[in-house]
Amino acid sequence: GAGVSQSPSNKVTEKGKDVELRCDPISGHTALYWYRQSLGQGLEFLIYFQGNSAPDKSGLPSDRFSAERTGGSVSTLTIQRTQQEDSAVYLCASSSFGGGNQPQHFGDGTRLSIL
Amino acid sequence: AQSVAQPEDQVNVAEGNPLTVKCTYSVSGNPYLFWYVQYPNRGLQFLLKYITGDNLVKGSYGFEAEFNKSQTSFHLKKPSALVSDSALYFCAVRSDQTGANNLFFGTGTRLTVIP
């Protein structure tokens, strides 16, 4: 597709359940980022993938959060045993390469609500 | 350490008047600076960036920003505001140093253009 695609656009689940969020980056982009946006706050960096390099996981808030990127393209962010504080919009972005002066292109996000 | 400050949570301006959204930054090395705009229920859209060279950068939708190294600022400006400019604006910075992968975002400024 032309842009970054995220699914689902909305997810409502019960506390304690696991959720998977999907990101399909722009074709050919080697860098992929996950962010969390909470109400009234800026973007919180979660994880960064660049090509076949080991991901930068320094932003993951707890071991309940994990992400993978298969085949250097699609990425999945998994949250296990969800808590109410996990409620937020999860944004994915990609760029033609990591770091440097390339802008990131964002998807429309997944709005996650934990009941 | 990298950080971005957007000192105003909210900016109101009358349609047709000039607008300014403020941003100051802190970064090791030289900065790469970005402005993004976010409309309701959408991801962030890239507006413009400063890498090097001319301190006045022109971007999408008539926006521009001025890099001021001595004041460590990168304020977003537009000569004549439109109602459709009403949105949430984010400033972001990345260091030019090798290994600096992440963009650091401010907490955002909500711009309201009053008809």
Residues B72, B2 contacting (CB under 8 angstroms): no
Residue A40 has pLDDT above 80, yes or no: no
Specify the pLDDT at position B87.
96
Work out the minimum CA distance from A9 to partner chain B, whole angstroms. 9
In a 10 Å sphere around its CB, with 0-12 CB exposed, 13-18 middle and 19+ buried, how is residue A7 labelled? middle
**Digit-coded pLDDT (tens) for B13-72:** 999 999 999 999 999 889 999 999 999 888 899 999 999 889 999 999 999 999 999 999
Indicate yes or no: CB of B105 within 8 angstroms of CB of A109: no
Work out the minimum CA distance from B43 to partner chain A, whole angstroms. 4
Work out the minimum CA distance from B101 to partner chain A, whole angstroms. 4
SS3 of A84, please?
helix
Specify the pLDDT at position A57.
92
Work out the minimum CA distance from A16 to partner chain B, whole angstroms. 26
The DSSP secondary-structure symbol of A55 reads P
**A43 interface with B at CB cutoff 8 Å:** yes
Residue of A nearest to B32 (CA): A101
d(CA B37, CA B109): 10
d(CA A29, CA A97): 6
**What would the CATH number be for the domain defined by A26-97+109-114?**
2.60.40.10
Q: Which of B36, B41, B98 comes nearest A108 by C-beta? A: B41
How is domain B3-114 classified at the CATH fold level? Immunoglobulin-like (2.60.40)
B65 DSSP β-pair partners: B57, B76
Indicate yes or no: CB of B101 within 8 angstroms of CB of A50: yes
Residue of B nearest to A37 (CA): B107
**Digit-coded pLDDT (tens) for A45-102:** 999 998 888 899 999 999 999 999 988 799 999 999 999 999 999 999 999 876 678 8
Specify the pLDDT at position B102.
78
In a 10 Å sphere around its CB, with 0-12 CB exposed, 13-18 middle and 19+ buried, how is residue A27 labelled? exposed
Interface test with A, best of B102, B107, B109, B110 (most A CBs within 10 A): B102
Q: For chains A and B, count residue pairs whose Cβ atoms are closer than 8 Å.
A: 59
